[in-house]
Amino acid sequence: MLLAVDVDYRDAHAFIAGIAFENWQDASEQNVFRSQLGNIKAYRPGQFYRRELPCILKLIEEHQIVPDAIIIDGFVYLDGKSRPGLGKYLYDALQEKISVLGVAKKPFRGIARECELYRGASKKPLYVTSAGMPLTDAKQHIRSMHGPYRIPTLLKKVDQLCKTMP
C-alpha cells in the first residue's frame, strides 16, 4: 500500500489527510484517513518538520497504517542529497522501515537539479527527493502517477481533503 499525506493548518489546529492506494498509476484511492491535532505551535523558519512531523505520525498511529511508501508534500532532503527535511525526519521516526518520497511544488535554495521532475505540459518542475528508495526510482514513480497535469491526481486530492476538513 502507498500513502499520500498532507496537512492544513488553521489557527492552532492541524487537519491531516491521508489517501491510501495500491499502485502508483491508480486514479482513485482505496481508503481515506483523517485526523486532527490541536495546540499546534507556530511555524519556525528552518524547522518546518517540528510542526508537521507530529501531525503525520498522529495519522499513521491513529489509523494503524503500515504502508510500503509515504508521499509527503515537501522535501526529504532540502538540498536533494544530505540536508534533512521533513521526509528524512519522518523516515527516521519510522525506523527507516518505510520509504518516504517528498514532492515539493517550489524549490528550496540549493536544491539539486537532479531532483526536478516535469510532468504533463508544465514548464514548472516538481522537486522530488527520497529516503529508502533511490531518487531515480522515486522520480519514475511520481512521473507514472495518474493525471495529465503537473500535480498527480491523488496528490491534488489529498491536498484538497485536508483543506476541506471541518
Give the model confidence (pLDDT) of 4-17 as tens digits.
Answer: 999 999 989 999 99
The CATH classification of domain 2-163, taken from the options 3.30.2170.10, 3.40.30.10, 3.30.420.40, 3.90.550.10: 3.30.2170.10
Strands 69-73 and 2-10 come out as parallel
Mean pLDDT, range 127-134, rounded to an integer: 98
- pTM beyond cutoff 0.75: yes
Q: What's the rounded Cα separation, in Å, for the pair 152 and 25?
A: 9
Question: Are the C-beta atoms of 166 and 16 separated by less than 8 Å?
Answer: no
Predicted confidence (pLDDT) per residue in 32-64, tens digit: 999 999 999 888 877 889 999 999 999 999 999
**Closest to 152 (Cα-Cα) out of 108, 105, 106, 116:** 105
